[in-house]
């Protein structure tokens, strides 16, 4: 009778501990939704940049191809696949894309300095700034949630439950080189 009671207590505890972990994981994955949306916006802006470069005419073929390639390589990442390596790969791909975009825009501006005076270009710049700001904020919020989750699965006795139910550590964003400055705005603005 006593053993039965003890088992019941342990099972109840395990359920509530697991629920706690699941809830924290959900907080993180829902924050991921915003991250993904903001990075998608960066992707849209790169498409806009490609059009700006093309519109200027006489563009450097190599630079433009590099942007298009980098853009095609920027993946979607489902909330259930947020492992450390997947997030790292995601971040790398999008940073690469932003760098190639900045390079292509800078080359074009060097050739056509008058481009910077156009309304199109100025609005584009403004949009890039806004996009990078939003990425910074959503990344930060996501990181905070992941850290709470990651901490919850490594402390004992939650760690047993995590192992038992297969809750793995999630990846989060590392500060890019050159502190918290986003690569795209860094070179563009």
Partner 1 sequence: MKKLLSISLLLCISVLSWGQVPHNETGWLPEKENHLVYDYCNILSPEQTDTLEERLLIFNDSTSNQIVVMFTPGFGERDISSFAFEVGEKWGIGQGSLSNGVLIVIKPKDSTSGEVEIATGEGLEGVLPDIFCKRIIEDIMIPRFREDDYYGAVTAALDVIEPVCAGEYSFEQYKEDHKGDGSGIIALAVIAGGCALLYRHYKKHPPKNTGGDFSGRSYSGGSSWSGGSWSGGSSSSSGGFGGFGGGHFGGGGASGKW
Give the binding site for partner 1 (CB under 8 A).
Answer: 34, 38, 123, 126-127, 129-130, 133-138, 180-181
How far is the C-alpha of 115 from the C-alpha of 8, rounded, in Å?
72
Q: How far apart are CA 102 and CA 94, in angstroms?
A: 12
For partner 1, give the closer residue by CB, 155 or 179. 179
Q: Which is nearer to partner 1, 160 or 189 (CB)?
A: 189
Q: Minimum distance from CB of 93 to partner 1 (Å)?
A: 21
Please state the closest distance from residue 126 (CB atom) to partner 1, in A: 5
Cβ contacts of 106 within 8 Å, gap of 6 or more = 187, 188
**Nearer Cβ to partner 1 (36/158):** 36
Q: Give the tokens for residue 37.
A: 């949306």
Residues 50 and 68: beta-carbon distance below 8 Å: yes
Please identify, using beta-carbon distances, which residue of 30 and 126 lies nearer to partner 1: 126
Q: Can you tell me the distance from the alpha carbon of 121 to that of 124, in angstroms, rounded to the nearest whole number? A: 5
Cα 71 to Cα 67: distance, rounded to the nearest angstrom? 6
For the CB of residue 145, give the shortest distance to partner 1 in the complex, in Å: 14
Residue 59 beta carbon to partner 1: minimum distance, rounded to whole angstroms: 26
Q: Which CB, 105 or 135, lies closer to partner 1?
A: 135
CB of 133 to partner 1, least distance (A): 4
Q: How far apart are CA 106 and CA 88, in angstroms?
A: 27
């Amino acid at each position: 009778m006593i053993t039965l009671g003890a088992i019941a207590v342990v099972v109840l505890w395990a359920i509530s501990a697991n629920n706690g972990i699941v809830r924290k994981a959900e907080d993180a994955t829902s924050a991921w939704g915003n991250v993904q949306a903001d990075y998608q916006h960066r992707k849209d802006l790169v498409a806009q940049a490609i059009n700006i470069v093309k519109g200027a005419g006489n563009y450097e073929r190599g630079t433009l191809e590099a942007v298009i390639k980098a853009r095609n390589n920027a993946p979607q990442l489902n909330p259930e696949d947020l492992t450390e390596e997947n997030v790292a790969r995601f971040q790398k791909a999008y940073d690469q894309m932003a760098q190639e975009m900045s390079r292509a825009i800078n080359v074009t501006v060097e050739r056509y300095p008058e481009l910077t005076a156009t309304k199109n270009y100025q609005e584009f710049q403004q949009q890039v700034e806004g996009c990078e700001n939003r990425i910074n904020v959503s990344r930060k919020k996501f990181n905070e949630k992941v850290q709470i989750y990651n901490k919850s699965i490594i402390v004992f006795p939650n760690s047993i439950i995590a192992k038992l139910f297969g809750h793995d550590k999630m990846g989060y964003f590392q500060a890019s080189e050159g502190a918290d400055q986003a690569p795209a705005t860094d070179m563009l603005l």
